[in-house]
Amino acid sequence: MRPFDYQRAERLEHASQLAADSETLPLAGGTNLIDLMKLQVETPQTLVDIGRLSMGEIAEEGEGLRIGALATNTATAAHPRVRADYPVLARAILAGATQQLRNKATTGGNLCQRTRCYYFTNIDQPCNKREPGSGCGAIDGVARLHGILGTSPQCIATYPGDMAVAMAALDATVEITGESGERSVPVRDFHRLPGDTPEKDNVLEPGEIITAVTLPAPVSGKHIYRKVRERSSYAFALCSVAAIVDMAEGRITRADLAFGGLAHKPWHDPRIAELLVDSEPSLALFDKAADLLLEGAQGYGENDFKIPLTRRTLTAVLCDATGVEA
Ligand SMILES: Cc1cc2nc3c(=O)[nH]c(=O)nc-3n(C[C@H](O)[C@H](O)[C@H](O)COP(=O)(O)OP(=O)(O)OC[C@H]3O[C@@H](n4cnc5c(N)ncnc54)[C@H](O)[C@@H]3O)c2cc1C
Ligand code: SF4
């Protein structure tokens, strides 16, 4: 690990001011950032510790819920309103990492966690995300965890988190504060596709700090989070589906779906709800939904299996949600 300065922010404005320097990074739970610093993947000159700021509260916000950026994953998953009204979120969080990590991991840090691409975390390897212009080791390399949707010739990495996939299905909003004021961004638009600038994971500008995530008023329906991974715990998603699906009189009335493990961001395709809502559920319909989702999907050799895996996982989730026999 390279030597660095440590500053503790006492006020949010102070944290934004310090973090506006491109050599400074905010530190929350540290479970991702410190690991990457040990590997010299992240080499900030200064860490600004935001852990003492009062951003840990989970509170009612109208009919919805505001989850502070410093609320731990454990506190969020255990919160009675989350368990009762947003179970897909509790299930997604509990499908991630381990109890010890979730005790430290925060809402803001979880949203900003970096990719698990093996080339990104190995400084001896080429990686356009870590070192723009150096190439992408994963294309034509070891790409089992990598993306099949929205990839670019510069980067095929996936966003590895679970929590944000459920938040995308719930259409939650990220609240952000920076030197130029406050703004809100839908979780669905918070992470970026890699394009020609894979070094930028999300839409945060220098100095911007996530202060909270707001969940809209709860909606009726069955909540499902299904995560397919190499082993049943302590592993990142090969493919995950967060779903809130409701039915009335034999027809689907709601189908809010988001997908993890497939792209540089939690994947949300509004065409899937348009297809499913007002239709009678059937295997043929689910197959059409998978066709839409996977339109333009591209494998990179080692991860070709994700295309049929995603089709099967989506079908299984929709069967579970609607009672159709697989
Ligand atoms: C072994 C292991 C297994 C894991 N498995 C999973 C898994 O299965 N699923 C999953 O979802 N996650 C998994 N994780 C990742 C874990 O969830 C993240 O490390 C954690 O959520 C990061 O939160 P943190 O508060 O510790 O962030 P930190 O490490 O403190 O920060 C992470 C990044 O976010 C930035 N940041 C932090 N807070 C803010 C803020 N408020 N505003 C702006 N930027 C901010 C930091 O500057 C840094 O770049 C795993 C981690 C480990 C080590
Ligand atoms: S996939 Fe992205 S993160 Fe991985 S080596 Fe290529 S550029 Fe780097």
pLDDT in tens, 11-52: 999 999 999 999 999 999 999 999 999 999 999 999 999 999
For domain 222-322, the CATH superfamily is CO dehydrogenase flavoprotein, C-terminal domain (3.30.390.50)
Determine phi and psi for 185, rounding to 5 degrees. -135, 130
Mean pLDDT of 120-126: 98
Ligand 2, pocket residues at CB < 6 Å: 115, 117, 119-120, 127-129, 136-138, 155-157, 198
How many angstroms from the chain centroid is the CA of residue 301? 24
Burial 228-243 (b: 16+ CB within 10 A, else e): bbeeeeebbbbbbbbb
Q: What is the number of the ligand closest to the CA of 89?
A: 1
pLDDT in tens, 182-222: 999 999 999 999 999 999 999 999 999 999 999 999 999 99
List the structure tokens of 186.
Answer: 């839908």
Q: Across the chain, how many H-helices and E-strands are there? A: 12, 11
Share of the chain above pLDDT 70, in %: 100
d(CA 211, CA 69): 5
pLDDT at 233: 84
Counting ligands in written order, the one closest to the CA of 127 is 2
Q: Is the CB of 51 under 6 A from ligand 1?
A: no
Percent of the chain with pLDDT over 90: 98
Beta-bridge mates of residue 68: 212
Q: Where are the domains of the chain?
A: 222-322
CA angle 113, 289, 271 (to 5 degrees): 70
Distance separating alpha carbons of residues 241 and 259, to the nearest angstrom: 5
